[in-house]
Structure 1
């Protein structure tokens, strides 16, 4: 039951994540995507999917160092997490 509730919350929150805006900065100021992913991996993240969103975010799907499933939107200039969804 808890899994279904978590899944329902995750699905309904999808619309909010789709509208996430991270930066309007010129792409020349963005961190290199490969180096950015390498830094996350050094922090213990396992990245299953990486993409650039329409809102100019680096978005990752995968697992954090604790093995919890994550979906995180990062500002590609600063690397700061703008929004995140972490499975309990």
Structure 2
């Protein structure tokens, strides 16, 4: 394989990996964010059950859960840390 083909392959794989990463939510300071307790209450009000991994901050500075929706489907959900709005939901089933 030539250097050029190798480089194109590496760049394509890097782009594919970046596409699978979670969203980027904010650069605002944590002092402006909803607290973990507020987010936990909000996600439960929306019908999510955070039963796989605890609510945590993603690399993109979003609140993230891995759990189940109200229909029992496995999901990974990213919430904006200030508004609590769903930024991205990935179904795992």
- TM-score normalised by length of structure 2: 0.70
Over the residues paired in the alignment, what is the CA RMSD in angstroms? Answer: 2.0
Whether 1:27 aligns to 2:30 is yes
Aligned residues: 76
CA distance in 2, matches of 1:75, 1:43: 14
Whether 1:42 aligns to 2:45 is yes
CA distance in 1, matches of 2:85, 2:64: 11
- TM-score normalised by length of structure 1: 0.73
Q: Deviations over 1:31-85 (max 9, x none)?
A: 0111211221133211022210121110110001111111011110011111110
CA distance in 2, matches of 1:53, 1:86: 17
- Structure 2: runs of 5+ lacking an equivalent: 1-15
- Structure 1: runs of 5+ lacking an equivalent: 1-12
